Amino acid sequence: MRIIDILIVGGGAAGMLAAIAARDSARKRKIPDKDFSIVILERNRLPGEKIRISGGGRCNVTHAAKPDELLAKGFLKKGEQRFLRHALHAFGSDALLALLARQGVRCEARPDGKVFPVDGLAASDVLHAFESMIADRAVSVEYVCTVSSVVRTGDSFDVKAGERTFRSAALVLATGGVSYPSTGSRGDGHLFARRLGHAVVRASPALAPVLTRDKPPAELAGVSLRSTEFIASAGGKQVSRRGDVLFTHRGLSGPAVLSLSREVAELFGTYGNCLLFADLFADLDQDALQNALLSESRRNGAKLVRKFLQHCPAGPPAALIPYIMRNAEISADLQLSGLARCNRIALLQTVKRFPLGTVKAVPLEHGEVSAGGVSLIEVNPKTMESRIVPALFFAGELLDYAGEIGGFNLQAAFSTGWLAGKASSEKTADRSSENSPCVS
């Protein structure tokens, strides 16, 4: 049986970067390509399906920030930041953009830091760039090759895909998470890691929409609450995130909802009954809002309460105002001068905690990413090598991290892939030079 030097399962962002880094590292050591085999096994007919659909086909490829800022903005859990630090310092957004630029894919940052390809280029061009980098580096890719089992045999790994068995000196698992299973990422790597003795944190939703038990009224679908405080509460616990919230036909989406969805799913999973609210005046506390209301009432008592809400800077969208009025039990034609103290308090309480519904589900399969995966404490963050099985490496979303929206997830997949590829190459090259060269 042919022994492959580095076998990579999964041809997504992490797997492709692992292959690129592995070859570059081997070439740096002056190892001829023919003496050092790198093979990717990929279930699909093409690599990088998630890159192709990323950013709505535009591909938010990374986030323009130095590694520490990128970590702070993109990964809210301290343990994940600590784990990813080495990878992002070793291969950060600058290194990624330089690699793409060498392939003719120029990218630019938007004012919010999200980086996209420019010059009319899209996600498919980013993907083609990676495909040519792999081809230039003599990496073989076996497509339509679904790995079904991975076994450690002595010093090597036996990897089964259908009738075929591949034997390798080093193995990189880069099979992704479990969301959007039609892209090929179905959690197979979680199973392989578990069978190899690794703890795997159960997959859970992240960057997912939130479905509510009562669907929002049809006329609100498509309406956005700008820069609101989105709040979820269950079992006496409360979590919140600042940003835009979008009403959909089945519940809620938009940046604040996607960002908080991981915590909403945890609360919902633990307590069941999880209530959602929005602070529609997130920049003003209740006293400041009350003062604004009272002073407008003194100045212009004939003004309708609903007009006051409508004309407030950074206030709720017009479509929501009838619902606010109904919730606070205030009639639509009430003037500010007629607003009794109890109505005023009801109004203030409603806008500061406007009910958005009760969680019905946070669908794992619809998340841009999934949380959970191979436990970070069992992986060396400097090399991505398993602390349990030597020469086994992990990269990408298969690991137990989940980033925010903004290019952080692709960057983490590229960075961990790069580290895994480089470290596996160094380890295998050292071993090949100590022992015999690889057999074909």
Instruction: By CB under 6 A, tell whether 409 contacts ligand FAD.
Output: yes
- Show the binding pattern over residues 8-27: x = contacts ligand FAD (CB under 6 A), - = does not: -xxxxxxx------------
The contacts of residue 135 (CB under 8 Å, 6+ apart) are: none
CB closer to ligand FAD, 251 vs 407: 407
Q: Which stretch binds ligand FAD (CB under 6 A): 48-56, 217-225, 229-237, 420-428?
A: 48-56
Which residue in 12, 38, 42, 1 sits closest to 161, CA to CA? 42
Rounded Cα–Cα distance for residues 240 and 358 (Å): 15
| Binding to ligand FAD in span 139-158, by CB under 6 A | 146-147
Residue 414: strand, helix, or coil: helix
The contacts found for 384-387 with CB under 8 angstroms, 24 or more apart, are 384/87, 384/172, 384/416, 384/419, 384/420, 384/423, 385/420, 385/423, 385/424, 385/427, 386/196, 386/198
Stretch that binds ligand FAD, among 177-185, 374-382, 383-391, 430-438 (CB under 6 A): 177-185
Tell me: does residue 175 bind ligand FAD (CB under 6 A). yes
- Exposure b/e, 111-130, CB count within 10 A at least 16 = b: eebbbbbeeebbbebbbbbb
The answer to the question of residue 400 lying near ligand FAD (CB under 6 A) is no
Q: By rule CB under 6 A, what count of residues binds ligand FAD?
A: 39
Interacting span for ligand FAD (CB under 6 A) from 85-93, 172-180, 282-290, 381-389? 172-180
Please pick, from the candidates 113, 251, 255, 407, the single residue that binds ligand FAD as defined by CB under 6 A.
Answer: 407
For residue 70, what is the DSSP state?
H
Give burial (CB, 10 Å; 0-12/13-18/19+) of 271: middle
Residue nearer to ligand FAD on the CB measure, 19 or 225: 19
CB of 194 to ligand FAD, least distance (A): 14
Q: Rule CB under 6 A: is residue 259 a binding residue for ligand FAD? A: no
Q: Which residues bind ligand FAD (CB under 6 A)?
A: 9-15, 41-44, 49-51, 53-55, 59-60, 146-147, 174-176, 179-180, 184-185, 188, 368-369, 396-398, 407-410, 413
